[in-house]
Structure 1
Amino acid sequence: MKKYNSIGELFTDYREFNNLSQSDFAAELNVDLRTIQRWEKDLTLIKSEKEEDIVLSTLMPYQLIHNLNAAVPIPTFYDFNTRKYSLSSQSNTLPKLEWYLDQIDLESNNLRTIDFDFDIKHLEHFIDSQKKDNTYVNHDLIKEAIRLLPELNFVFTGKSGYYAGHCIVLPLKEEAYLKLKNREITNKHLRASDLINYKLSDRPIFYRYDITGDCNDSIFYVMAKFFRFFRTIENKNYLMVSYTERDDNYDLNLQIGLHIVWEDKALQEELHLDYPPRFLEGNFEAFLSKIE
């Protein structure tokens, strides 16, 4: 993570990360070029009502924008790749495994089942921004996942009330799982017809489609709710499946019970990724059994 001391510094790096000119950025935010120039030179503050537009357009966390958009900015760390912010360098990394064991009962009124019509603009924007394929998000697929598994398809809103993270898990049919595992299809090929009521399966298969949080506090709440579901599920013969292009959660995935089935170094080179995409699967029972 990089430490930011001003909104101008943040916006300049945002443009560089997304390969945008000042004119491009102005068009994205629906403001004139001179406004962008003044913001980047820290000559003027952003009006509070404009902060929400910036959050929705750029996907940068509200708290990050709010901290830096002040007469006396609050220095804040931020990583454009993971879209996580932090107030200190000590809390930049993902939480340790022990935290999930100790804090699994942590709850929040800001966790709620995805309201597709209201939340899709956040989910679609965020997920598409991480992938190279703009057909990645299938609306019918997400709707069916919410209908079949509302417990694991939810969003988290921070103290400010803005979107701060989400969890999307698909209850897969065996055939779809095998096609993903054998690399016959990818995420973009999944359809609503590939999902099933997990309670009707002898071996429920859950596909971790996308889980994220804008800071460790958000991740705490999202993952606590996620693990509580598997702690209480009746059928312990389930399988958790995941595909990831990130490496910051690699060790954590192994510690909670997942193992690598395959990794794609050719795709890593083709898409210029920092780490090879990996397909993982496993079960959380050994991990969850450590909870006293």
Structure 2
Amino acid sequence: MNSYNSIGALFIDYRNFYNLSQSDFADAINVDLRTVQRWEKNLTLIKSEKEENIVLATLMPYQLIHNLNAVVPIPTFYNFKTRKYSLSKQTNDLPKLSWFIDQIEITSSNLRTIEFDYDFKYIEQFIDSQKRDNNYVNAELIKEAIRILPELNFVHTGKSGYYTGHCIVLPINEKTYNRLKTKEITNKDIRAKDLVDFKTLERPIFYRYDITGDCNDTIFYVMAHFFRFFRDLENKNYLMCGYTERDDNYQVNLQIGLKFIWEDKALQKELNLEAPPRFFEGNFNNFLAQL
């Protein structure tokens, strides 16, 4: 993570990371070129009503923009690859699993089930920008997942009410699971008709579609809520599976009881990824037995 003390330095690094000119950046956030130039020289601040537009266009966390867009900025760390911010260097790394075990009962009033009409614009833009193979967000699929499994389809918002992270989990049928596992289909092929009421199945299958947070605190609340669901689930004969292109939680996934079924090194090379895309499955029974 880099430490930022001004909004101008952040915007310059953002443009360099994505290879954008000042004009490109101005067009993306719908302002004139001179406005961007003034921001980058820290001559003027961003109007408060413009902050959300910048968040939506850049997917940088609202709190990061808000911290730096002030007469007296709050120094903030940020990583463009993971899209996580932090207020101190000591809290940059992913926390150890004991963090969740020891504090799993801590809840957040800022967690709520996804309100599709309000939240979808954030979720769609974030996922579409993160996935670099043939993945995309299917609106009807997300709607059905919310209806069937509201407990695991939720968002987290910051103190200001802005989106800070989400969890999307699909209760899928056996046929869809097998087709995903054998690489016959990918995320882009899953449809609302592939979802089922998990409570009626002898072996429920949950597909981790996407989980994210803008900082470690957000990730804690999201994952603690996620783990509490499986801790309290009566039917322990469940299967959790999913697909990931990221490597920052590889060891964590292994420690919580998931195993990797396949990895695609050819796709890694094609998409210029740091780690090979992987399909994983397992359950959290042994991990949660430590509680």
- TM-score bracket, normalised by the shorter chain, equals over 0.9
Amino acid aligned to 1:114: I
Partner of 1:165: 165
Q: Secondary structure at the match of 1:281?
A: strand
Q: Distance in 2 between matches of 1:285 and 1:156?
A: 25
Q: Say yes or no: does 1:106 pair with 2:106.
A: yes
The alignment of Structure 1 onto Structure 2 pairs a total of residues equal to 291
The 10-residue stretch of structure 1 (110-119 or 20-29) with the greater mean CA deviation from structure 2: 20-29
Alignment of 1:111-130 (within 5 A): 111-130=111-130
Partner of 1:29: 29
Q: Say yes or no: does 1:199 pair with 2:182.
A: no
Q: Distance in 2 between matches of 1:133 and 1:258?
A: 23
Alignment of 1:206-285 (within 5 A): 206-285=206-285
How far residue 90 of structure 1 moved from its aligned partner, in angstroms, is 0.9
Q: Deviations over 1:236-264 (max 9, x none)?
A: 00000021111110111011110111111
Q: Distance in 1 between matches of 2:261 and 2:134?
A: 26
- State the Cα RMSD in Å: 1.1
Alignment of 1:114-193 (within 5 A): 114-133=114-133, 136-193=136-193
Q: Distance in 2 between matches of 1:88 and 1:108?
A: 21
Identical aligned pairs, as a percentage?
74
Q: Deviations over 1:177-236 (max 9, x none)?
A: 001100111110111111110011111000000000000111111011101100011110
Partner of 1:20: 20
Q: Distance in 1 between matches of 2:92 and 2:201?
A: 39
Kept in 1, the 8 Å contact 2:7–2:42? The answer is yes
Q: Deviations over 1:85-117 (max 9, x none)?
A: 001111111111001101111111111100111
Kept in 2, the 8 Å contact 1:165–1:213? The answer is yes
Q: Distance in 1 between matches of 2:159 and 2:110?
A: 8
Segments of structure 2 that go 5 or more residues without pairing to the other structure are none
Q: Secondary structure at the match of 2:94?
A: coil
Q: Distance in 2 between matches of 1:203 and 1:37?
A: 57
Q: Distance in 1 between matches of 2:165 and 2:24?
A: 27
Amino acid aligned to 2:221: Y
In 2 relative to 1, CA 244–133 (structure 1 residues): closer, same or farther, beyond 3 Å?
A: closer
Kept in 1, the 8 Å contact 2:83–2:214? The answer is yes
TM-score between both structures, scaled by the size of structure 1: 0.97
Q: Distance in 2 between matches of 1:133 and 1:251?
A: 23
The 10-residue stretch of structure 1 (93-102 or 67-76) with the greater mean CA deviation from structure 2: 67-76
